[in-house]
A and B are shown apart, each in its own frame.
Chain A
Amino acid sequence: MTATAADATLPRGKVGDPFSSAWRRRLPLLPALLYMVAITQLPFLVSIYYSLTDLKDKTQSLIPEPTKFVGFENYRRIFSDPFFRQAMWTSVKMTVLSVVLSLFIGTLFAVLLDRKFFGRGLIRTLLITPFLLMPVVAALIWKQQMFSSLFGVLNKVLTFLGLSSVAFISDHPLGSIVTVLVWQWTPFMMLIVLAGLQSQPSDILEAADVDGASGFGIFRQLTLPHLRPYLELGALLGSIYIVQAFDAIDVMTGGGPGSTNVPYYVYQESIGGGFRYGSASAYAIVVVVFSIIIATLALRLLSSLFRDEDRA
């Protein structure tokens, strides 16, 4: 893993380096690359194979052998499965709602925290805390302490105000889960937007202020365009994690109607009780194809963020 002196004096980033030297440059990268290929790509290939079989585990003996090769039968069935369609729709709603809301609230918080006021550091510390909590704990706190119709604080308040109590989780499963996700991810978005706000050159803002621009005008015309890459980054990173939400669903509803997203549905179909590994793998592959389409779009977006760096 060492670069020789000769290698080190080569011009940086020159296309068409001698083969051996190019490989010496890549060498430090290889362990990480091979590891990721082995752990993430190989199981995926196995999943593709399973998806073409009618692999089931009726006895739940944990190691079933593929019984029959069924070709694309599993895939054909996916598109007539109303539960899968529902799970797709739930996934979209859950992710978009959570990302948009946390980004919006996070931006508001960031604008607040960009001002100077007494105790700013303390408030920032308080605000980021939900992001640091275990997702399982965050979901438990909201389920048991806030939403519960038995002990929930929210229902105590509603009753105190003379209103009738609400069965939050059973009547509004999606809303309850989105609440927890937004609560956890708003601080994350806030910190990213805050990094953006604080990297804004202040002389331009001052110039605009001297020219008599209104506060809102400055925000809309100068700050918002400057923040755009930060907002995009927040949306990207948030989506990566939120689209895979599992913990909150498992803890809060255990996947009732309206709150089962695609990952949870695939889980229920396979190791979560269905044990229909063949068809569950097909679902998973379809999800991956969708993810790749969305990820390609997202990374295209990201590559515009990288553009300036290409000089390296």
Chain B
Amino acid sequence: MTDAERRGTKLGIGERRSVVIGVGALAWLVGLLWIFPVAWTVLTSFKTEDDAAAQTLHQGLSFGRYSDIGHSTQGTLSLQSAFTNSLVVVLVSTTIVMLLALPAAYALAIRPIHKWRDVLFFFISTKFLPIVASIFPIYVYAEKWNLIGTRTVLIILYIAINLPLAIWMLRSFFKEIPRELIEAAEIDGTNLYNQLRTVILPIAAPGIAATALLCVIFAWNEYFYALQLNFASASTMPQWVTSNVSTRGNFLAKLSAASVIACLPVVIAGWATQKRMIRGLSMGALK
């Protein structure tokens, strides 16, 4: 990797060993401090409720809370249905986002239309509109069309949430594709679909995957629409997590286990793609 090489040369210069060790120790300290609330929650999720409430550890660790959260009272949102709802909403919305964003990014990056910048600005500017400014009309029409409490309404809205970001990121990844390759395909008279399939997608695949994953993360974590437009039994994982807060008895260990389960899929996905996601976000404006 060129990155590693450059780092290697950049280091060595006038750097004392004690400085290197000091920097490393400081970074470790900072990293552990930042992760502490998460680590503590993971630990708590294995405790008994008594230990969790007292923040002590007398009764050992077990997977007990993880089996507790699988059971739910009749009529409330169960883990199974919340998970299924989340999965369907996230996968369908992300697929549609990508189907809309890929051609759009093509028209903005590879064969940029006249005034492409205005169009890109329009997409980004929709992110500035406060969600609350439109939630009530959306609510009224969702009600009129019998969409309240369905996955469909969440899918429709999550597409709108993620589309600007996806176009922004894909455009930046497309910009990195060598011109000559696309021009060669154009001279061959390849149409858009085939250009995408044979030239653009293979090269931009890692970037496209990172973009899709970012859409998955934002859709998976979305709470406001899910809360407003979906009643308990049809809602998604964020609302299921909050349903584990109880006003009777101790709930901290159970809530911790629920938090771990709810966040784990997205955290792992994010760990796997951390570098590319940021490249896509930053290059979008900077390259």
Residues in chain A within 8 A of chain B (CB atoms) = 1-5, 8-9, 12-13, 15, 17, 22, 25-29, 31-33, 35-36, 39-40, 42-44, 46-47, 50, 62-63, 109, 112-113, 115-120, 122-137, 140-142, 144-146, 150-151, 153, 156, 183, 186-187, 191-192, 194-196, 198-199, 202, 205-206, 209, 229-230, 233, 237, 240, 243-244, 246-247, 250-251, 262-263, 266-267, 270-271, 277, 280-281, 284-285, 287-288, 291-292, 294-295, 298-299, 302-303, 305-306, 309, 312
Contact = CB atoms under 8 A, between A and B. Distances in A.
Interface in B185-244: 186-187, 189-193, 195, 217, 220-221, 223-224, 227-228, 237-238, 241-242
Interface residues of B, number: 114
Contact of A124 (B10, B223, B274): B274
Given A39-B159, A117-B20, A133-B267, A271 B135 contact: yes
A54 B157 CA distance: 27
B117 A112 contact: no
A36 to B, nearest CB: 6
B19 to A, nearest CB: 9
Nearest to B269: A132
Contacts of A136: 221, 223, 238, 241-242
B112 interface: yes
B96 to A, nearest CB: 9
A36 B126 contact: yes
A303 B137 CA distance: 32
Given A39-B156, A127-B35, A206-B10, A140 B255 contact: yes
Given A2-B193, A46-B141, 8 more contacts: A31-B103, A40-B129, A50-B136, A116-B8, A151-B54, A233-B281, A244-B130, A292-B125
Nearest to A155: B55
A285 B133 contact: yes
Contacts of B277: 191
A123 B111 CA distance: 40
B279 to A, nearest CB: 6
Contacts of A15: 114
Contact of A288 (B53, B133, B193): B133
Interface stretch (B38-46, B60-68, B71-79): B38-46
A285 B129 CA distance: 10
A12 B111 CA distance: 7
B167 to A, nearest CB: 6
B43 to A, nearest CB: 10
B31 A22 contact: no
A206 B136 contact: no
A20 B49 CA distance: 69
B112 A312 contact: yes
Contacts of A246: 131-132, 223-224
Contacts of A5: 189
Main SS at interface, chain B: helix
A28 B106 contact: yes
A17 B10 contact: no
Contact of B259 (A44, A141, A199, A309): A141
Nearest to A134: B221
18 contacts: A13-B112, A22-B114, A32-B123, A33-B104, A35-B160, A63-B143, A117-B27, A129-B38, A129-B267, A130-B38, A136-B223, A140-B245, A145-B41, A150-B53, A271-B136, A287-B130, A298-B128, A299-B124
Contacts of A183: 34, 37
Interface in B257-287: 259, 262-263, 266-267, 270-271, 274, 277-279, 281-283, 285-287
Contact of B103 (A28, A284, A309): A28
Contact of A198 (B3, B14, B187, B283): B3
Contacts of A142: 37
Main SS at interface, chain A: helix
A9 B286 contact: no
A90 to B, nearest CB: 14
B52 A151 contact: yes
Contacts of B44: 145
Given A194-B278, A284-B130, A299 B192 contact: no
A147 to B, nearest CB: 10
Nearest to B97: A32
B156 A17 contact: no
Given A36-B123, A156-B55, A263 B131 contact: yes
B7 interface: yes
Contacts of A306: 117, 285
A35 B103 CA distance: 13
A267 B139 CA distance: 12
B282 A280 contact: no
Given A63-B140, A202-B6, A229-B286, A47 B24 contact: no
A172 B281 CA distance: 34
A112 B23 contact: yes
Q: Which 4 pairs between the two chains have the least Cβ-Cβ distance? A: A117-B24, A28-B103, A5-B189, A43-B134
